[in-house]
Amino acid sequence: MNEDLKSIFQSLIDNNIQDQSIDEVLNHITKIFPTETCFSTSFSMEDQVITDFVKNSDVKIFTLDTGRLFEDTYNTWNLTRSKYKVNIKAYYPNQEELEPFIQENGPDSFYRSVENRKACCNIRKVQPLKRALARNKIWITGLRAEHSPDRENLQQLEWDESNQIIKFHPLLFWSTQEVKNYIKEKQIPYNILHDKGFVSIGCAPCTRAIQPGEDFRAGRWWWEDASKKECGLHVHK
């Protein structure tokens, strides 16, 4: 079946579907996979824009609730549900994995080593993501090229070998200002932490506001070397 999906992916590339508008691509892929297209939201500005695009489609929306999110993120979640009347399915860490990990290492062991932090991310984010993506064929994300050097060479449509799924990044080439302009124009609710210097917002213990001139990802896992700042959700090879 994966080879069939890869063939469909290649056909989409050969037909230059990535050159079409976001609405056209969404319409095309949901016709092919009406019940197997999903979108992962963390309620970032980018994800709020995408929610506005998919609100009336067959795209399934889900989020990963790690148990350590900011209260402002939950508020944005509630405001999004209220505005769009959409169903947002939440995926949570497996307690049989999380409880022993915390019992052995403590609640904030991610500060002590990269290995502990990645183990925490794996339990709270990566494994729930795999459950969310299971039985889906298209995964829509809010990745943008400006986010990090690793993402500058991405294509809007790519094959994710790790998860055996087609990924679509509709806002890949949007600038930060374009995202903000769309939010303002459409009066879309967004996380107010963005107004306080928070750019990339994840779990509360692992996210801080950035200072003028700092890199987009500087506020995530700020105590680690910059080359290690990925959690495993998006593996680029």
Distance CA 234, CA 144 (A): 12
C-alpha 233: how far from chain center: 8
Q: Are 89 and 60 in contact (CB under 8 A)?
A: yes
Whether residue 203 lies in the annotated active site: no
**Could you say which of 38, 203, 206, 231 is catalytic?**
231
Which residues have a Cβ under 8 Å from the Cβ of 116 and sit 6 or more positions away?
Answer: 105, 109, 110
Distance CA 207, CA 169 (A): 23
Look at strands 165-168 and 157-160 and give their pairing: antiparallel
Residues marked as catalytic: 231
